[in-house]
């Protein structure tokens, strides 16, 4: 059905999924909270928790999830047949987004203001972080009791949803050429946000730990470490004259992560015990800074878990290397990361005939120099999923005179050994503090991925 240019399979379901995407994003100001929200939804759907340090006793038809470093989430559901015989249908996405992160000794002062020392994470459009109402979220690491090399600490997540921080712009009267030259921010000097005024009359020690401890209900002295970032407290919303847009932070790439998770849980409901292959979603941290980490796509997590699934599945054969090799060669990864929609004011930045439009569904992303992992075969496989769902896939390539961004797709294809297609829903304002996508696209992506999870 076509309605003001949009492709709509089921309007009511699409609106509900777009609103659920907003709730998912709102619950996920940092990767720690995003992972916890995924785990909450998986547990509610009957998926069981595994840990990497314990032995796994898997059963056919079982749904499981496992996290690494509290930020990367893998969830999978096993078919009756051995993975070496059926392969695994995978969807990969990432839970991190560009932002400002808090340095270890962050308390700083200038001209009677309390400020925070911050580091730029990933590649945000820095100008969009000015004059925003900013909260602080992430994890605290507290003293505790424990054994082994990693014992002795415990963690607690914290989200300060109040607008406690602000990066103020310089008045135009003191920067008269800003509109002609563009806003140029020195990352070291101009980004530390204000948290308040120094009230030395009260003799109060300015302490970030005290702020965090009060919010988390712990003692300030117990906070031994933290991983914290800033976020815009303005909630996501539907927008446009007919609610055809989603206006939200972190659409890149909580949008794809939400679609992957929603599709897995929807397929679990629809197909149940009749599934043809095992299914897995991998929601990574650290894509925005190159994925080279313990929990990033260059790490060992997905290969480790696929190896364990391949060898400990009840139907698996005894030759472990062969089980793993056969499993990988039969599997398909859909790497889902948001794509560039054509911008009405900057249409010339797109390659002709490759201008993805909002609300017309996911785009297949291709780059012959392997910035995307798509090839003709994997492209066709995803195009068929879209067609089976009732719509045609869109296509994106970069202009030949512009550099091409990249994703987890090539990293996982090379590092794990998986046939991969890179896809993504079109969006505008990518890496702004507040982005824009199409209300109906989330439903189209979910429906295509549900058909991957057969």
Peptide bond into 253 cis (omega under 30): yes
Q: What is the CATH number of the domain that holds 140?
A: 2.30.250.10
How many domains is the chain built from? Answer: 2
Tell me whether residue 260 is in a domain. Answer: yes
* Lowest-pLDDT range of 1-15, 97-111, 122-136, 416-430: 1-15
Tell me whether residue 108 is in a domain. Answer: yes
The whole-angstrom separation of Cα 357 and Cα 367 is 19
> Which pTM value belongs to this model?
0.97
| Residues 120 and 197 placed together within one structural domain of the fold | yes
| Residues 169 and 253 placed together within one structural domain of the fold | no
| Residues 280 and 147 placed together within one structural domain of the fold | no
Q: Parallel, antiparallel, or unpaired for β 134-143 and 153-165?
A: antiparallel
1 has a pLDDT exceeding 50: no
Q: How confident is the model at residue 204 (pLDDT cuts 50, 70, 90)?
A: low
207 has a pLDDT exceeding 90: no
| Residues 42 and 189 placed together within one structural domain of the fold | no
Tell me whether residue 239 is in a domain. Answer: no
Q: What is the CATH number of the domain that holds 50?
A: 3.40.630.10
Q: Residue 428 to residues 182, 224, 335, 425: CA-CA distances in angstroms? A: 20, 40, 19, 10
| Residues 296 and 214 placed together within one structural domain of the fold | no
388 has a pLDDT exceeding 50: yes
Q: How confident is the model at residue 2 (pLDDT cuts 50, 70, 90)?
A: very low
| Residues 219 and 301 placed together within one structural domain of the fold | no
Domain boundary (188, 205, 232) is at 232
pLDDT tens string 34-68? 999 999 999 999 999 999 999 999 999 999 999 99
Give the ranges where 164-250 is alpha helix by DSSP (H). Answer: 178-181, 187-190, 208-216
Tell me whether residue 240 is in a domain. Answer: no
| Residues 108 and 62 placed together within one structural domain of the fold | no
Tell me whether residue 159 is in a domain. Answer: yes
Q: What is the mean pLDDT of the chain?
A: 95
Per-residue model confidence (pLDDT) at position 5: 83
Domain boundary (181, 206, 232) is at 232
| Residues 312 and 365 placed together within one structural domain of the fold | yes
Tell me whether residue 243 is in a domain. Answer: no
Contact 331, 88 (CB under 8 A): yes
The larger pLDDT score, comparing residue 207 to residue 410, is at 410
| Residues 44 and 56 placed together within one structural domain of the fold | yes
Which residue range forms the structural domain that includes residue 310? 2-97+249-452
| Residues 125 and 194 placed together within one structural domain of the fold | yes
Contact 83, 213 (CB under 8 A): no
Contacts of 339 (CB under 8 A, 6+ apart): 356, 362, 363, 365, 394, 396, 423, 424, 425, 426, 427
Helix pair 251-271, 11-26: axis angle to 10 deg: 130
Query: Region 238-258: what's the mean pLDDT?
Result: 98
| Residues 401 and 350 placed together within one structural domain of the fold | yes
Percent of the chain with pLDDT over 90: 93
| Residues 263 and 365 placed together within one structural domain of the fold | yes
Q: Distance of alpha carbon 270 from its chain centroid, rounded?
A: 25
Per-residue model confidence (pLDDT) at position 273: 73
Tell me whether residue 191 is in a domain. Answer: yes
Tell me whether residue 241 is in a domain. Answer: no
**Listed residue (381, 284, 288, 293) closest to 330, CA to CA:** 381
DSSP 347: G
Domain boundary (232, 258, 287) is at 232
The whole-angstrom separation of Cα 162 and Cα 195 is 11
């Amino acid at each position: 059905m076509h309605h003001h240019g949009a492709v709509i399979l089921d309007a009511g379901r699409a609106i509900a999924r777009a609103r659920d995407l907003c709730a998912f994003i709102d619950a996920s100001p940092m990767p720690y909270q995003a992972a916890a929200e995924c785990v909450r939804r998986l547990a509610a759907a009957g998926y069981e928790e595994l840990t990497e340090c314990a032995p796994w006793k898997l059963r056919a038809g079982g749904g499981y999830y496992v996290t690494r470093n509290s930020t990367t989430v893998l969830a999978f559901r096993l078919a009756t047949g051995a993975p070496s015989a059926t392969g695994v249908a995978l969807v990969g996405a990432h839970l991190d987004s560009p932002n400002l992160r808090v340095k270890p000794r962050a308390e700083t002062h200038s001209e009677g203001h309390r400020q925070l020392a911050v580091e730029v994470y990933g590649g945000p459009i820095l100008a969009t972080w000015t004059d925003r109402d900013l909260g602080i979220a992430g994890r605290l690491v507290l003293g505790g009791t424990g054994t082994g090399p990693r014992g002795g600490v415990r963690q607690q997540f914290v989200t300060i949803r109040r607008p406690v921080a602000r990066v103020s712009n310089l008045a135009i009267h003191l920067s008269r050429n800003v509109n002609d030259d563009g806003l140029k921010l020195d990352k070291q000097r101009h980004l530390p946000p204000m948290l308040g005024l120094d009230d030395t009359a009260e003799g109060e020690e300015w302490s970030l730990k005290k702020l965090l401890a009060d919010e988390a209900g712990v003692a300030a002295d117990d906070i031994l470490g933290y991983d914290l970032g800033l976020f815009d407290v303005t909630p996501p919303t539907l927008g446009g004259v007919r609610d055809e847009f989603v206006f939200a932070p972190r659409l890149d790439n909580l949008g794809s992560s939400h679609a992957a998770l929603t599709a897995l849980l929807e397929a679990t409901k629809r197909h149940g015990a009749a599934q043809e292959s095992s299914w897995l979603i991998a929601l990574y941290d650290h894509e925005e800074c190159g994925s080279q980490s313990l929990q990033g796509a260059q790490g060992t997590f997905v290969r480790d878990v696929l190896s364990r699934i391949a060898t400990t599945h009840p139907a698996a054969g005894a030759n472990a290397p062969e089980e793993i090799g056969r499993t990988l060669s039969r599997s398909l990864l859909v790497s889902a990361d948001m794509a560039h929609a054509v911008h009405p004011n900057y249409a010339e930045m797109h390659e002709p005939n490759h201008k993805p439009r909002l609300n017309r569904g996911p785009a297949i992303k291709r780059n012959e120099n392997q910035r995307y992992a798509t090839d003709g075969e994997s492209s066709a496989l995803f195009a068929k999923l879209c067609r089976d769902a009732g719509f045609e896939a869109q296509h994106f390539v970069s202009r030949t005179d512009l550099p091409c961004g990249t994703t987890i797709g090539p990293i996982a294809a090379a590092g794990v050994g998986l046939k991969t297609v890179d896809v993504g829903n079109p969006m505008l304002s990518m890496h702004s503090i507040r982005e824009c996508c199409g209300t109906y696209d989330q439903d189209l992506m979910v429906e295509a991925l549900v058909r991957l999870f057969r």
